[in-house]
Amino acid sequence: MVVVWPFDIPLLFRDGRAQHLTGLCLLKDICRGHLDGGQVGSKEITFYPDVVRSGDYMADAKTAGSVCLVIQLVLPCALFGDGPISLRLLGGTDAAMAPPIDFFKLVFEPVASKFGVHFDCQLKRRGFYPKGGGEVSLTINPIKSLEPVILLERGNVLRVTGCAYVAGVLPFKVARIMAQAARETIQHSYRQLPVNIEAIKEEQHRAMATGSGILIIAETSTGCFLSGSAIGSRGVPAEEVGAKAGQMLVDNLNHGGCVDDYLQDQLVILMALAKGTSKVKCGPITLHTETALQVAKTLTKMEYKITEVSKMEHILEIVGIGLDNKTLS
């Protein structure tokens, strides 16, 4: 299969170009493929993939380019390899405009496991803008095929947990302030909901440079996970960072979906490759999801339908192509 993609829209090598180029080069190595146009400023790339090979691989964005965006690119391919694939990834683990690594571990992973996806992700060191330097190890186990998933009932919210962290020269009280502001924001709308947000100070060897952030997760009785998150930045009060994360979670709870606004687009490729029809109840369909649907349809020829349940609730239905891993006996 030869994949050619013209960049008439700012899809690649514009903002966040480091992680996109790093991800493509890593994918080329894993697939033993050939890549034309893999440089900053490219208007078109041509990718000639071969068989996905197991083994140990390393990728370094050499900036604060998001490790999670690299994982998003590589994971669906690595699932269809001939054995486990171990990755050592360097770059930004907690960056603006990208999922934090804690989201990948605590929100994406439990939902992806419903498709039959299994991996081990270990955060070795946090990396922040502008230096990066974070490190994540990830081992992805191959799969024969992906199972379809039905997520239409959110159930009751059982608990809200989370972590507010600081690293480097920031004092511990900043983490406490973020946690308290998030807690107050959530309980302003959901008074009876138990909220337990831990405040931590990362040890020196566990973070590169100075940074802060917060991730909050609501777990429901039907196994749904919805989140709110924020990254600290210079000049922004800790109260504002915590309140932003808290309000994001409140908004995701209010729309009634089974996944949050940031998870919905990340599930599209798994649904497209699954063997059968998947249905997921979402809030408003995001622009990222619309883009993911168009790209997945172009690459896989899958079919999808969006049903509006209400102004805030939608059901995303995808008939997967049932991709089979022929390298596994």
Q: How far is CA 272 from CA 30, 44, 160, 199, in A?
A: 21, 24, 31, 38
Tens of pLDDT, residue by residue over 117-175, are 999 999 999 999 988 999 999 999 999 999 999 999 999 999 999 999 999 999 999 99
Give the angle subtended at the CA of 100 by the CAs of 94 and 101, to the nearest 5°: 100
Say how far apart CA 209 and CA 130 lie, in whole Å: 9
Top CATH class of 1-143 equals alpha beta
Say how far apart CA 260 and CA 257 lie, in whole Å: 7
Catalytic residue IDs? 288
Q: Is 192 annotated as a binding residue?
A: no
Q: Is 72 annotated as a binding residue?
A: yes
* CB distance 264 to 292 below 8 Å: no
More confident residue, 285 or 8: 285
* CB distance 221 to 281 below 8 Å: no
- Which is it for strands 211-220 and 157-167: parallel, antiparallel or unpaired? antiparallel
In the three-class reduction of DSSP (H, G, I as helix; E, B as strand; rest coil), residue 49 is classed as coil
Tens of pLDDT, residue by residue over 202-237, are 998 899 889 999 999 999 999 999 999 999 999 999
Write down the domain spans for the chain.
1-143, 157-254
Q: Is 294 annotated as a binding residue?
A: no
Question: Dihedral angle at the C-alpha atoms of 181, 186, 192, 197, nearest 10 degrees?
Answer: -60
CATH architecture of 157-254: 2-Layer Sandwich (3.30)
Q: How confident is the model at residue 16 (pLDDT cuts 50, 70, 90)?
A: very low
Instruction: Give the pLDDT mean for 311-322.
Output: 97
The neighbouring-strand residues paired with 40 are none
Q: Is 48 annotated as a binding residue?
A: no
This prediction has a pTM of 0.92
Tens of pLDDT, residue by residue over 61-88, are 888 889 999 999 999 999 999 999 999 9
